[in-house]
Amino acid sequence: MKKALSLLLAGALSVGLLAGCGQTAPSSTASTGASTGTSTSGAAEANKTIDTLRIAFVPSREPDEIITATEPLKQLLTDELAKLGYDVGEVDITVGTSYEAVGEALSAGTADVGLIPGGTYVLYDDGCDVLLTATRDGLSIDSDNAKDWNDNAPTEPTTEQVTSYRALMIAGPSEKGKALAEKVNAGEALTWEDVSGVNWSVANSSSPAGYIYPSLWLQENFDKNITELPHAVQSDSYGSAFARLASGQVDVLCTYADARRDYEDEWTGEYGMTNSIWDDTAVIGVTPAIYNDTISVSKTSPIMDDDFKAALSEAFINIGNTEEGKEVIAIYSHNGYQPAQSSDYDSERAAQEMIQSLNSAG
């Protein structure tokens, strides 16, 4: 079973941006030249008008933090789309109450663009199309062995751009968390009794790093899944999960591989810890690679024709190639974007099917 799961997931998944729907179809503004073939040679075709472009983000960070960090995206996107033939009156950015809420908004056409993980995309691909995959900085550690992550901490970024990442199971400074870390660092294999006897923080069921791949890790190592953990709570964001880990409310959390870099300052600031996050935490489990986040668009949006989707893709790629743009998309640990296709996420679909099967069996 372990070998089969490893082969199944070798291609890996997830993480994600969204694109969705708007209320107003693009309309051509009045032409500045004659409307016939006899128009002057210098006349340029007028831009099309989009009244409102609605972009939804998943709550993988604190909503207020996302809204603040992405505020410059409104003007960046407006400027880029204007160069590509579209005048956007307003860019409306919101953060969904859950990953599923964003997927549902795309399907319903109440969001035009969404930033969602691959796991969310495949659950809602009947209602949205994937445009782009995020790239991110690689990490100095990329090992299947949890002890390697602890021996070589802290994790540092590299200049290599990658389209996948790993999920980690991270133990905190509680007595039970330290006991798990000591066993892993001593080279001992964890047992089901070890992991089922502690308090876990997990994300919602469409989160690759916070739920799907940790569940597959449990299946591969203990022939169990995440629903069989007797002491698991769902956190609404990774920030709240790390706060719970710091306070000892939970002993282990499931997260993406570079999350401790993102919450290093909060650990000794907002969460009030004395030691660094690298001293207080340890990796106890590592998943196979997960394909990066998507930028996906609504299939039901009246503004999402092929021409506008092409312009939107080019605009996001251009933004990701600028320093100002990189600062904005860094909120999701993204460094840029490249064209994507639905088949890129076939491994994610296989993982989702397995999770659904496991949950049904459980």
**What angle is formed at CA 257 by the lines to CA 253 and CA 261, rounded to 5 degrees?**
95
> What does the pLDDT average to over 163-188?
96
> What does the pLDDT average to over 153-161?
93
| Top-confidence residue, 93 or 31 | 93
CATH number, domain with residue 184 = 3.40.190.10
Q: Specify whether 176 is located in the same domain as 240.
A: yes
Tally the domains of the chain.
Answer: 2
For 14, the 3-state DSSP assignment is: coil
Side chain identity at residue 187, one-letter code: G
Side chain identity at residue 321, one-letter code: N
Give residue 17's pLDDT.
35
Q: Where are the alpha helices (DSSP H) in the chain?
A: 2-9, 63-83, 99-108, 118-123, 146-151, 175-185, 192-196, 213-222, 238-247, 259-262, 264-268, 277-280, 306-320, 323-329, 346-361
38 found inside a domain? no
Residue 15 has pLDDT above 50, yes or no: no
Residue 242 has phi, psi (to 5 degrees) of -70, -35
Q: How far apart are CA 336 and CA 320, in angstroms?
A: 4
Cβ proximity of 117 and 14 under 8 Å: yes
Cβ proximity of 18 and 106 under 8 Å: yes
Helix (H) or strand (E) holding 132: strand 128-139
Give residue 289's pLDDT.
84
Q: How far apart are CA 48 and CA 197, in angstroms?
A: 59
Find, among 86, 105, 125, the residue nearest to 20 by Cα: 105
Q: Which residues on neighbouring strands pair with residue 164, listed in sequence order?
A: 291
Q: Specify whether 195 is located in the same domain as 262.
A: yes
Cβ proximity of 221 and 291 under 8 Å: no
73 found inside a domain? yes
Give residue 61's pLDDT.
86
Cβ proximity of 332 and 115 under 8 Å: yes
Q: How far apart are CA 26 and CA 305, in angstroms?
A: 9
Q: Specify whether 195 is located in the same domain as 81.
A: no
Q: Which of 246, 264, 290 is the endpoint of a domain?
A: 290
Residue with token string 């006991």: 179
Q: Specify whether 122 is located in the same domain as 149.
A: no
Question: Would you state the structure tokens that stand for residue 141, as one six-digit string?
Answer: 């550690």
Residue 91 has pLDDT above 80, yes or no: yes
Q: Specify whether 87 is located in the same domain as 210.
A: no
Mean pLDDT (the chain, rounded): 87
- What range does the domain containing 331 cover? 10-29+48-138+292-356
Q: Which residues on neighbouring strands pair with residue 337, listed in sequence order?
A: 134
23 found inside a domain? yes
Q: Specify whether 189 is located in the same domain as 272.
A: yes
338 burial (CB, 10 Å; 0-12 / 13-18 / 19+) is middle
In angstroms and rounded to an integer, the radius of gyration of the C-alpha atoms of the chain is 22
> What does the pLDDT average to over 265-294?
95
Residue 255 has pLDDT above 70, yes or no: yes
Question: Would you state the structure tokens that stand for residue 322, as one six-digit string?
Answer: 């600028």
Residue with token string 């409307």: 35
Give residue 135's pLDDT.
93
